Amino acid sequence: MKIGIFGGSFDPIHSGHAIIANYASQWMGLDEVWLMVSPQNPFKQDSDLSPEESRCEMAELVAGDCRNVKVSRFELTLPRPSYSYRTLSLLKKKHPEDEFTLIIGSDNWQEFGRWRDNEKIIEEFDILIYPRPGHEIDASALPPRVRIMDEAPQVFISSTFVRQSVKEGKNINFFIPPRVYEYIRKHNLYR
């Protein structure tokens, strides 16, 4: 199987994440997309994340409404901070019959040179880049195993925006899936 690994803290998962996962799973030649809930971003050492289980449960709500999208808690079992190359290598070792593709935003691609073992990722794995406004990429300069999701719908929503909006009591309909919004209200997150 060809499996896309779409990692993030998903704190919370929002409509932009859902669109990317759903699109990649159906239009980018992948059999599945795994929402890889990350415990800690190496570039955000002091981040104050919601509980892992809450983030996984919200991701499960989104995955359940998409085709061929699943949630993986695999990275939560690894030493911290989490590094993409280690995660991908261990997945490859655990599932040698599968091919893994890393899915990242163009903002992350612009910082990719700072990632640990970035050259190894490029050599050993395919990468799909979804465009984000303000982070344009020259497709002609990309390595052979890296593709841009040119046709993917672009929605610029950030989890930071969602958390702040919830804290301020704003109506965030359409920014996050309704079941995720209900989960946030029920568990009194981000207030």
Tokens of 101: 């593709």
pTM (two decimals): 0.95
Percent over 90 (pLDDT), the chain:
91
Q: What is the pLDDT of residues 16-40, one digit of tens each?
A: 999 999 999 999 999 999 999 999 7
Q: What is the pLDDT of residues 38-86, one digit of tens each?
A: 997 766 655 689 999 999 999 999 999 999 999 999 999 999 888 999 9
Burial of 177 (0-12, 13-18, 19+ CB in 10 A): buried
- For residue 67, what pLDDT is reported? 95
Q: Is the dihedral of CA 87, 76, 64, 104 positive or negative?
A: negative
